[in-house]
Amino acid sequence: MSKAPQSTDAPRFSREWWLESARIAFWVMIVTVLIWIYADMEFTQTADVAMTVRLNTAGSPDTVVTSKLVTDVTFKLRGSRSDLDRFAKKFRGSVINFDLSTLPSFHPELGQAIPSVLALESVTDVQEWGLSVKSSSPDTISDINIEKLQTRELPIEFIFKGAELAGPLKAAVEVLAPPSFWTSIGRNPMIRTVEKDLSGLPAGEEHKVKFQLIPALGAEPVKLKTDTVTASLQVVRRMAAATEIIPITVKIITPAEWIETGLWAQYKLVRRDRIEWSTKITVTGPRKDIDILKGDKTKTVDAYIVLTDSDKEPIDSWSARKVTLRFPPGLQIQLASGQVEPTVQFRLEKRVTTTP
C-alpha cells in the first residue's frame, strides 16, 4: 500500500515559511533587476544621425547671413530604440532650417558662433519623442556673419523688344543688401526687368506698361522694396528685331581692399577652361542699334564676374559663376531669346612660396 503525498507547505508564519518567502523574494528581486537592465539596454540607446544645418534670419527681415549657410553636423541622440529608429528614418540626411533670430542673444555681428545642438533642439520631434541630444560633431558652428541690410536707390534697366520708343525709360527702386555686398558690387549697378514685348502697342500713343523687376544684381540675389514698376512710354514705331553674334571677354571685379592688402601676391586665379572666358553671345535689338554696336568701338558689352571673400576658401572642385552682362546705355540691345548669360568656372589658389 503506497503512502499518500505529503504537503510541502510550511505552517504560515513559521520559521520555514519565512525562509521560503525570503528565498522567493530574493529571486524575484534578481529577475526584476535583470529585466530592468535588459530593458535599459534594449530600449534606451544612443544613435548618430547626420544632418545638414542651414542658417537663416527669417524672423528678422532687415538682417541676412552673409557667411556660409550650410554645415554638415552629426548629432548623437539618446532615447528608446523605436523612437531613435523613427527619428533617423525621418531626418537622417535632411536639412534643418535654423532661424538665428530666435536666439535671445541674436544681433548683427561678424564672426559669431553657436552650439550646433541648438539647431536640433529646435526640431519639435526631438521633444515630442522624448529624445535628448547628447553631443554633436562639430560641436560649434563658427564664423557666422550676420549683417544688417542697407538701402540704396538704384536705376532700373528696362528690357523690352518689338518697338522703338520716343525716349529712354527712367526709374529707380530701393534695393536692400548687406554692407559687404555694396563694397564688392561692380560699377554702375542697375536692376533689370523681365523682358517685355511691346510689339503689340499702337504707335503714336501714350501707354502705361508694368514691368517685373528681377531681384538680383548679376548673380547675387537682393531684396527689393517693390516687385514691379509701371513706366509711361510712347511707341514711335514697331520694329522687327535684328540679331548679331558678338565676342566678349570676361573680366573680374574684386573688393577694393584686395588691392590695398596685396592679396594677389598670396593668391592666383585659376581658370578651369580659358575658352569660356573668351566666348561669343547672341544679342538682339533694333537694326540701327545693332549697327551702332558693331561699328562704334566705344559701344561695347561689358562682361564680368564679381569675386568675394568667400572665394578665398579652399575647395576641391570649381566655383561656377554666372557672367554679368552690361549693355551700352542708350542702345536697346539685349540677349537674344533663349540665350542665357554664360557661366565660367574658377577657383582661387594660394601661391606656393619658395624659401631661398
Q: Residue 336 is part of a domain; what is its CATH number?
A: 2.170.120.30
Q: How far apart are CA 94 and CA 148, in angstroms?
A: 29
pLDDT at 9: 63
User: Is 11 domain-assigned?
Assistant: no
User: Is 24 domain-assigned?
Assistant: no
256 and 338 part of one domain: yes
Q: How far apart are CA 230 and CA 173, in angstroms?
A: 11
Q: How far apart are CA 25 and CA 257, in angstroms?
A: 81
pLDDT at 5: 45
First-to-last alpha carbon distance for the chain, in angstroms, is 116
pLDDT at 40: 52
Cell numbers that stand for 51 in this block: 544632418
pLDDT at 117: 92
Query: Total domain count for the chain?
Result: 3
Among 148, 181, 202, the domain-final residue is 148
In one-letter notation, the amino acid at residue 245 is I
User: Is 9 domain-assigned?
Assistant: no
In one-letter notation, the amino acid at residue 227 is D
pLDDT at 354: 58
pLDDT at 7: 45
pLDDT at 308: 86
User: Is 311 domain-assigned?
Assistant: yes
- Burial classification of residue 299, based on how many CB atoms lie within 10 Å of its CB (0-12 exposed, 13-18 middle, 19 or more buried): middle
User: Is 3 domain-assigned?
Assistant: no
pLDDT at 243: 87
271 and 316 part of one domain: yes
User: Is 313 domain-assigned?
Assistant: yes
232 and 338 part of one domain: no
pLDDT at 323: 92
pLDDT < 50: residue spans in the chain: 1-7, 41
pLDDT at 237: 80
353 and 249 part of one domain: yes
Q: At what angle do helices 81-91 and 15-43 cross, to 10 degrees?
A: 10
272 and 288 part of one domain: yes
Q: Residue 200 is part of a domain; what is its CATH number?
A: 2.170.120.40
Among 176, 210, 238, the domain-final residue is 238
> Which pTM value belongs to this model?
0.57
User: Is 265 domain-assigned?
Assistant: yes
pLDDT at 1: 45
143 and 188 part of one domain: no
In terms of Cα–Cα distance, which of 132, 129, 348, 162 is closest to 242?
Answer: 162
What is the CA angle 92-94-99, rounded to 5? 125
- What are the distances in angstroms from CA 126 to CA 32, 88, 94, 252? 30, 11, 14, 47
Q: Residue 334, SS3?
A: strand
Show the domain range for 156: 150-238
224 and 299 part of one domain: no
User: Is 305 domain-assigned?
Assistant: yes
